[in-house]
Amino acid sequence: MRIVLVHPAGSNWILGKRDVASSANRMVPIGLLSIAAFVEKAGHEVFVHDCLGPEAEQGIEKNADAILKLLPDLVGFSATTSSFLNANELAVKIKSKNSKIITVCGGVHVSAIGAKLLSDFNNFDYFCQGEGEQTLEELAAGNEPSSIKGLIWRNGKETVVNEPRAHLEDLDAMPFPAYEKLKGFPKGYNLPLFSYVQFPGATMITSRGCPYQCSFCDRSVFKRGFRYNSATYIYDHMKYLHKRFGVRHINIYDDLFTANRRRISELCNLLVTKPLGINFNCAVRVGHTDDDLLRMLKNAGCLMVSLGIESADEAMLNRHKSGVTLEQVKDTVKRIQAVGLRAKGLFMMGLPGETKETIKKTSDFIISLGLDDMNMSKFTPFPGAPVWETIEEEGTFNNDWSQMNCLNFVFVPKGIESREDLDQFYNLHVKRFYTDPDWRRRFRKRIWQHRRSLWHILKNLPAMLSAKNTFEPEKSD
């Protein structure tokens, strides 16, 4: 079967502002590439169309035409909440021009909501819940829909939800993601600015699932288990990216990259004894990171580690990210930097229970930590997250899927008067971090290391200035 897998554009910026997200960070659709490699290995002809790619056309009509030119028998979409409606628009256009094409959609939004979506969006023939590799492969092979686990389908006017599919247990049996199917990879897919010193970059995921249950995290696809690639597989994956595509920096987007200490020790040993000449970034969990582990990461080529902190209010932490204390955060940041690694803090503004006071407390804490980098996301209640069940009781919620991308405040907690106030607090405290004299002094010392990022800014100067202006606090009368 001839298959086109589509990464829909969706909404990737702030409502009412010029979308410049891809200028600062264009991410590889890694899950879609994993499915592409798996299905191709089964004998199908597979193409990937990235609507956010460096060579993609703008607009539904042009993207639909580009997909149709590939003469697909089946078009599969992988959609987040904010991109699902865009995927539907593409499906409508594709079906209107060739109704025989099979359309199927998967991803976190589908996995969280399920059968109701198929009733409401009739230009999709099938939905895949959970991991999509085997489900799509069996569908492409022509298996009876009733026999395919993880499939949602129509039997006449009835919507049928099949038995859930068991997780893929042996992740080492998976082929490497089909990076080669992305036009412009790797140089057209830029990592976040100033997060790398070598170029070009790429992304990897080396595990699935998480045993923790943060209130805001949607686990609809991978659930709470924890499965992972072996150290040898990860090393070979890195080597493949380096040899085949010239990649010299890798961002590893696992939630819990260092959870299994033994595999990290083995991986670091491989990278030290058989160096590839690459750097990488990864995430660690606060309170579960010893000095020896950090030194191993540094010696293996790690540049920066991220740690989820979310808030500096203890009541907020206890509710939304249990098991993390502020003292542990301070200690972990100090030890990360003591071995020569950079520390990046991940925070979230606007969670249920947030007030002007908790925001100020978090902002002060961020400055006190002396972080090398910081990311502040705007809390978004997703359908599969634990907090979803009570979100209407916690404040004002605008259930607009197109804005649910962690860059728009669709939820305003009871302790904040308005969305406009939240936006103003957000802009103020993001700008506060990047204008802090101590942070700027640290940044200036390594500015030459980031000449690639500086060159990227110059090439995209209008978009970068637009992004900068977005975070200027609005002046009050």
Phi first, then psi: give them for residue 211, nearest 5 degrees.
Answer: -75, -15
Q: Measure CA of the first residue to CA of the last residue in the chain; give whole Å.
A: 62
Number of H helices and E strands in the chain, helices first, is 18, 17
Does 376 lie in the same domain as 247? yes
Looking at residue 357, its pLDDT comes to 97
176 in any annotated domain: no
333 in any annotated domain: yes
8 A C-beta contact, residue 298 and residue 339: yes
Does 242 lie in the same domain as 128? no
- Measured N-to-C along each axis, helices 461-470 and 451-459 cross at an angle, to the nearest 10 degrees, of 100
Does 443 lie in the same domain as 386? yes
CA distance 459 to 261: 41
Structure tokens at 270: 């491989």
For 108, the domain range is 2-161
* Cα–Cα nearest to 202, from 236, 251, 154: 251
pLDDT tens, the chain, 477 aa long: 999 999 999 876 666 555 666 667 899 999 999 999 999 999 999 999 999 999 888 899 999 999 999 999 999 999 999 999 999 999 999 999 999 999 999 999 999 999 999 989 999 999 999 999 999 999 999 999 999 999 999 999 899 999 999 999 899 999 999 999 999 999 999 999 999 999 999 999 999 988 777 899 887 776 667 899 999 999 999 999 999 999 999 999 998 899 899 999 999 999 999 999 999 999 998 877 899 999 999 999 999 999 999 999 999 999 998 778 999 999 999 999 999 999 999 999 999 999 999 999 999 999 999 999 999 999 999 998 999 999 999 999 999 999 999 999 999 999 999 999 999 999 999 999 999 999 999 999 999 999 999 998 888 887 677 666 665 655 444
CA distance 232 to 263: 9
Does 259 lie in the same domain as 112? no
Does 142 lie in the same domain as 245? no
pTM recorded for the entire structure: 0.93
171 in any annotated domain: no
Structure tokens at 254: 């696992």
What would the DSSP string read from start to end of 384-430?
TSGGGGGHHHHEEE---GGG-SSSS--EEETTSS-HHHHHHHHHHHH
Number of domains in the chain: 2
Q: CATH code at 333?
A: 3.80.30.20
8 A C-beta contact, residue 426 and residue 163: no
128 pairs with which residues across the strands?
Answer: 151
310 in any annotated domain: yes
Looking at residue 25, its pLDDT comes to 82
Looking at residue 462, its pLDDT comes to 76
8 A C-beta contact, residue 196 and residue 249: yes
CA distance 263 to 189: 28
Peptide bond connecting 186 to the previous residue in cis, omega within 30 degrees of 0? yes
What would the DSSP string read from start to end of 11-32?
--S-TTS---HHHH-----HHH
477 in any annotated domain: no
Looking at residue 256, its pLDDT comes to 85
8 in any annotated domain: yes
175 in any annotated domain: no
8 A C-beta contact, residue 66 and residue 92: no
Looking at residue 170, its pLDDT comes to 95
CA distance 457 to 192: 11
Phi first, then psi: give them for residue 466, nearest 5 degrees.
Answer: -65, -40
182 in any annotated domain: no
CA distance 221 to 131: 6
CA 207 to chain centre: 14
Does 88 lie in the same domain as 206? no
367 CB-side CA count, 13 A: 15
Find tokens 């995209």 and name the residue.
460
Looking at residue 16, its pLDDT comes to 58
Structure tokens at 142: 């022509």
Looking at residue 224, its pLDDT comes to 67
Look at the alpha carbons of 458, 462, 468, 472 in this order and tell me if their dihedral is positive or negative. positive
Q: Single out the residue in 161, 177, 203 at which a domain terminates.
A: 161
What single-letter DSSP state applies at residue 70? Answer: T
Q: Single out the residue in 161, 183, 209 at which a domain terminates.
A: 161
